[in-house]
């Protein structure tokens, strides 16, 4: 036996509440972040990811406060992303109790932030989030998008992943924008292509609708961790049910 595949519930946070949208739009309220975090911890979540999805300067303090509160009650790794613009933002989130910080748009606009943050705080706490979409108008299959999926970058997602790791990213959070919120399963070819290209762990994200999708994400997509939001928030499945199902399908998980 060895390293377990991780299940990571993702909490999209705005104005102090957890919400969930479809294809990055149509937000629905899913509850209080601290309460939800505690529930997932009790169910056996291996890690939690908080994405500050509005991340304007006026609610920045709010997410720091939430992370502080969660970090004093929940003793599993916490990743926080959304609106990280400079190395100082990384420091603030780590000081609030985050174990890892996820960088997305800023990584594209200013890759040096990834490099400097990794040099300063260690690669282990720098996650680069890649939002990718299948495209027909490029010499490659998947293109990187930023600004919550609104802006095309012209970057090849696989090459971009390699570059981010070379700058010091310790983990990659790969979200398929085509799949996000659709409940038709992860984009396994995308995840596999990136997983094969880099040495660091990858987290598959976007599209989970049932527990078989989690299994496929590991077996077909080569993911080291699987991230899901709505299947857990609305009580369709507990984290424990997800783990039982994965274990029945021969995947090593933490009990």
Partner 1 sequence: MSTIDIAVVDYGMGNLRSVSKALEHVATTKNVVVTSKPEDVAKASRVVFPGQGAMPDCIRELDARGLRGAVLEAAQNKPFLGICIGLQMLFEQSEEGNAAGLGLFKGGVKRFAHADMVDSQGEKLKVPHMGWNQVYQCQHAEAKAHALWQGIEDGARFYYVHSYYVQPADESIIEGYSDYPKRFTCAIAKDNLFAVQFHPEKSANAGLQLLSNFVNWSPS
Residue 191 vs 195, nearer CB to partner 1: 195
Which residues, at least 6 apart from 150, have a Cβ–Cβ distance to it below 8 Å?
Answer: none
CA 191 to chain centre: 13
CB of 124 to partner 1, least distance (A): 4
Whether 180 is a known active-site residue: answer no
**DSSP per-residue letters across 199-215:** SS-EEEES---SHHHHH
Rounded-to-integer distance, Cα 248 and Cα 250, Å = 6
Catalytic member of 46, 131, 156, 180: 131
Contact 26/55 with Cβ under 8 angstroms? no
Residues 142-181 that bind partner 1 (CB under 8 A): 170-171
Cα three-residue angle 184-39-247, rounded to 5 degrees: 55
CB of 152 to partner 1, least distance (A): 29
Residue 15 vs 95, nearer CB to partner 1: 95
Whether 46 is a known active-site residue: answer no
Residues 99-118 that bind partner 1 (CB under 8 A): 99
End-to-end Cα spacing for the chain = 13
Residue 250 φ/ψ region, left for φ over 0, alpha for ψ in the -120 to 50 degree band, beta for the rest: left
- Stretch binding partner 1 (CB under 8 A), from 55-63, 68-76, 155-163, 235-243: 68-76
Q: Does residue 28 touch partner 1 according to CB under 8 A?
A: no
CB of 199 to partner 1, least distance (A): 5
Residue 165 φ/ψ region, left for φ over 0, alpha for ψ in the -120 to 50 degree band, beta for the rest: alpha
Residues 176-235 that bind partner 1 (CB under 8 A): 195-196, 199-202, 222, 224-225
Q: Does residue 254 touch partner 1 according to CB under 8 A?
A: yes
Q: Is 1 exposed, middle or buried (0-12, 13-18, 19+ CB in 10 A)?
A: exposed
Residues 40-59 that bind partner 1 (CB under 8 A): 41, 46
Question: Judged by CB under 8 A, which of 27, 62, 76, 251 binds partner 1?
Answer: 76
CB of 77 to partner 1, least distance (A): 5
Q: Strand, helix or coil at 179?
A: coil
Q: Which residues bind partner 1 (CB under 8 A)?
A: 1-6, 41, 46, 71-72, 75-77, 94-99, 121-125, 170-171, 195-196, 199-202, 222, 224-225, 254-255
Known catalytic residues are 12, 131
């Amino acid at each position: 036996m060895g390293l377990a595949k991780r299940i990571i519930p993702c909490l999209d946070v705005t104005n102090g509440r957890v919400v969930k949208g479809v294809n990055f739009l149509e937000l629905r309220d899913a509850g209080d972040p601290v309460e939800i975090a505690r529930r997932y911890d009790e169910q056996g979540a291996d890690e939690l990811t908080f994405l500050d999805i509005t991340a304007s300067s006026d609610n920045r303090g709010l997410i720091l406060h939430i992370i502080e509160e969660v970090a004093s009650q929940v003793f599993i790794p916490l990743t926080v992303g959304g609106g990280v613009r400079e190395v100082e933002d990384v420091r603030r989130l780590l000081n609030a109790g985050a174990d890892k910080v996820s960088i997305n748009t800023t990584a594209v606009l200013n890759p040096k932030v990834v490099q400097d943050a990794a040099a300063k705080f260690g690669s282990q706490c720098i996650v680069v989030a890649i939002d990718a979409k299948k495209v027909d108008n490029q010499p490659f299959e998947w293109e990187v998008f930023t600004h919550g999926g609104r802006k095309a970058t012209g970057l090849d997602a696989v090459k971009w992943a390699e570059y981010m790791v070379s700058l010091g990213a310790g983990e990659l959070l790969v979200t398929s924008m085509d799949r996000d919120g659709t409940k038709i399963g992860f984009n396994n070819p995308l995840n596999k292509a990136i997983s094969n290209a880099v040495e660091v762990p990858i987290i598959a994200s976007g599209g989970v609708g049932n527990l078989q999708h989690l299994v496929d994400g590991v077996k077909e997509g080569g993911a080291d961790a699987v991230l899901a939001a709505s299947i857990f928030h609305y009580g369709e499945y507990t984290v424990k049910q997800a783990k039982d199902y994965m274990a029945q399908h021969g995947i090593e998980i933490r009990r």
